[in-house]
Amino acid sequence: MKRYYYALILFIFVLIIMSFLNACIFFQNIIYDKVFLFYIDGANNLDDFAIKDFDEIISGYCENENNCVALVLIDRMYDGPITYEDWDDTRLYKIVYNPDGELEELSSDELGLTTLYIDEDLDMGNPETIQKFCEFAVKNYPSKHYYLDIWNHGGGWRSKNKEICSDEESESVIYMRQLRSCLLKVKNFHLDLIILDACNMATLEVAYNFIDLVDYIIFSQKPIPADGMPYKELISSIFSKKDIEVIIDDICTSYVNYYIENNNNDISISALKIDKDKALLSFIDKFKNILPSISISALRQQRDKISNFAQTTVDFSVFSLQSFELENELSKIVISNYPELLTGISIYFPKYPSYDNYVSCYNPENVYFCEKYPFYLDFILSYNHSGIENCDSYEPNGSKTKAFLLQIPFNIQSYIWCENDYDYFTFPVITNNGLKIILIPPEECDYDLKIYYYKNSELYLLQSSLPDDSIEEIAIEQQLLSQIEQIYILVYGSNESFNQTKSYTLKCEYY
C-alpha cells in the first residue's frame, strides 16, 4: 500500500514538474508584437521635463494591446528638484497595467552595469548603458518590431558641447559614432524606428550613422522645445495596428499640432527612410554623382540664403535646389516634414571652413559618413580653397603660427571675411628708425589692431588701437624696437564687423 502511495506522489510530482517546464517553454516562446524602448537621460537640467514625459508615456499606453511592451530606462538628477515622488536614481520600468493600476518596476541590476558612486545611478552618458538596455530587451522581450526613443540634449553629428546624451553627474556624453558602435554589438536587433528627441539632430551625417540598424528615423533640424515629443499620442500611435509610415506621419503631425496649439511655430520635425528600400544609400550615391556638376559660384550665392542650424549646418536645399534630379531623389527618402520651407534634412556646410571651430572634428574618425563617403569631405576642403584663398593671397593666416611674413616697409590690401576671421602678419625688426603701423578699414567697418612683440621665446602684447577710430595708427619708437626681435600684427573686426567684398589697407612705414 505504501508503495502505491509513493508511486502516486512521485507521479503527481513529475506531472507538476512537466507542467512547469511546459509553462516555461511557452513563456520563453512568446514573441511580442512590438517593443518600445525609452532611454530617458534626465541627469541634467532637463530633470523636470523627463518626469513629465514619463507620465505621458504611462498615460498613452493602450492596455488593449496586451502583446506590446514599453520599457523605460530613466535617470534623474542627483539632489535635483523632486517633483515626482522622492527618487533621483536610475530606474528601469516595464509599462504594464496590473490589477492595482501600478507600474511594474524592474531592477536596473538586471542590465549588468556598475552604478555610479552616488545612490543607484547608471551612467547614461556611457554607450555601454544603452547597449545593455537593448540587450536586456532582446533577451527578455523578443520581437520582430523594436522601436527606440533617445531623450536628452543633442548637437547633430558632433558638437563640442552637447552630443546625443549628456550625464552631468558622470560628466560623460555619447558621441554619434559611439552610439552606432554600441547598437551594432546588440545581436538580433534591428529597429523599425528610432526617435531622437534632442536638438538639431536631423542631418545627413546623423541619418547615415544608423545605416544597417534602422528602417526609419524621426528627428528635428531645429532645437526641440524642452517639452519634447507629445508622448501620450506617440506611444498610442506606435502601438496601433497601422502601417509604419502612417504611424510615423501621425507622430510628426501630433508634434506639430501640439506646439502650434501652444503658440510655438518655431519648430521642425521630419522623418526619413534609412534602411527601408535602401533609400538612404540610393540618395547618397545620387548626391555623390551630381555634386561635381553643381556650380561653386551658384552654391556660394545659395549658401548665403539658406537657413542655418547649430551654427554651420544648413538645410539640404543648398544642394537640392541646384538639381531637379537630386531634389526628386530627396523626396523619396523624406516621408514627413514640417515646415515645408525646409527639406527635412541638414548637412554640415560652413560658409568659411577656414574659420569654423568644428571643421577639425569633421573627419572619418568622428563621422561615419565621412569614413564611408570621403567625397563630401573632399568637397568641403576644395570649396574652402576655391574661395577665400583665391581672393586673398595672405590666407590662411588666422593664427600666430600661420602669420604671413612681410618685409618693412609695406602697403598691402586684405580682407576680414567673417566675424571669426583673424589676420596675423609678422616681420623681423631690422631698422634704426621708429615705425608707424596704420590700418585703414572699409567704410562702415570697425576694424582694430593689436601689436605683439617676440622676445626670448615669449610673445607679449605691445599695444592695441583705440576703439571706434576710423583709421587706426600705432607708433613704435626706435628705442623700444632695438630690444625686439619680431613683431606680430593682428587685424580683426570689432563687434563682429566684416566686409567680404571690400579690402582693408595695412601699412608700415618709417618715421
Q: Rounded to two decimals, what is the model's pTM?
A: 0.71
Average pLDDT over residues 223-236: 88
Average pLDDT over residues 278-299: 91
Query: Do 374 and 338 meet the contact criterion of CB atoms below 8 Å apart?
Result: no
Residue 114: its pLDDT value, please? 47
Query: Do 75 and 133 meet the contact criterion of CB atoms below 8 Å apart?
Result: no
**Could you tell me which residue, 388 or 240, shows the higher pLDDT?**
240
Q: Is the pLDDT of residue 337 over 80?
A: yes
Query: What nine digits make up the cell of 489?
Result: 600684427
- Mean pLDDT is highest, among 104-113, 131-140, 299-308, 476-485, for 131-140
Average pLDDT over residues 367-378: 91
pLDDT digits (tens, 9 = 90+) for 238-260: 988 899 999 999 999 999 999 99
What letters, b where the CB count within 10 A reaches 16 and e where it falls short, cover 277-299? Answer: eebbbebbebbeebbeebeeeeb
Residue 23: its pLDDT value, please? 47
CATH number of 392-510: 2.60.120.380
The H-assigned helical ranges of 334-447 are 368-372, 374-385, 388-391
Encode 289-318 in three state secondary structure: HHHHHCCHHHHHHHHCCCCEECCCEEECHH
**Could you tell me which residue, 32 or 164, shows the higher pLDDT?**
32
d(CA 398, CA 214): 42
d(CA 217, CA 424): 45
Q: Is the pLDDT of residue 310 over 80?
A: no
Q: Is the pLDDT of residue 357 over 80?
A: no
Average pLDDT over residues 117-126: 68
Residue 272: its pLDDT value, please? 97
pLDDT digits (tens, 9 = 90+) for 409-419: 999 999 887 77
Q: Is the pLDDT of residue 332 over 90?
A: yes
Query: What nine digits make up the cell of 240?
Result: 496601433
Q: Is the pLDDT of residue 113 over 80?
A: no
Q: Is the pLDDT of residue 117 over 50?
A: no
Q: Which of 184, 211, 183 is nearest to 275 (CA)?
A: 211
**Could you tell me which residue, 142 or 102, shows the higher pLDDT?**
142
Axis-axis angle for helices 279-290, 374-385 (nearest 10)? 30
d(CA 257, CA 246): 16
The type of residue at 396 is P
**Could you tell me which residue, 73 or 85, shows the higher pLDDT?**
73
Q: Residue 263 — very low, low, confident or very high, per pLDDT cuts 50/70/90?
A: confident
Residue 182: its pLDDT value, please? 94
Q: What percent of the chain has pLDDT over 70?
A: 76
Q: Which of 157, 139, 149, 5 is nearest to 73 (CA)?
A: 149
| Strand arrangement, sheet containing 458-464 | 404-405, 422-428, 486-493, 447-455, 458-464
Q: Residue 196 — very low, low, confident or very high, per pLDDT cuts 50/70/90?
A: very high
Residue 116: its pLDDT value, please? 40
Residue 161: its pLDDT value, please? 41
Average pLDDT over residues 451-457: 81
Q: Is the pLDDT of residue 153 over 50?
A: yes
Encode 253-282 in three state secondary structure: HHHHHHHHHCCCCCCCEEEEECCHHHHHHH
The type of residue at 84 is Y
Residue 89: its pLDDT value, please? 73
Average pLDDT over residues 99-115: 56
Q: Residue 190 — very low, low, confident or very high, per pLDDT cuts 50/70/90?
A: very high
The Cα-based distances of 332 to 263, 269, 291, 319 in angstroms read 31, 17, 18, 16
The least confident of 73-82, 259-268, 291-300, 305-314 is 73-82
Per-chain mean pLDDT for the chain: 81
Ranges in the chain annotated CATH 2.60.120.380: 392-510
Q: Is the pLDDT of residue 386 over 90?
A: no
Average pLDDT over residues 35-41: 89
Average pLDDT over residues 328-341: 95
d(CA 303, CA 305): 5
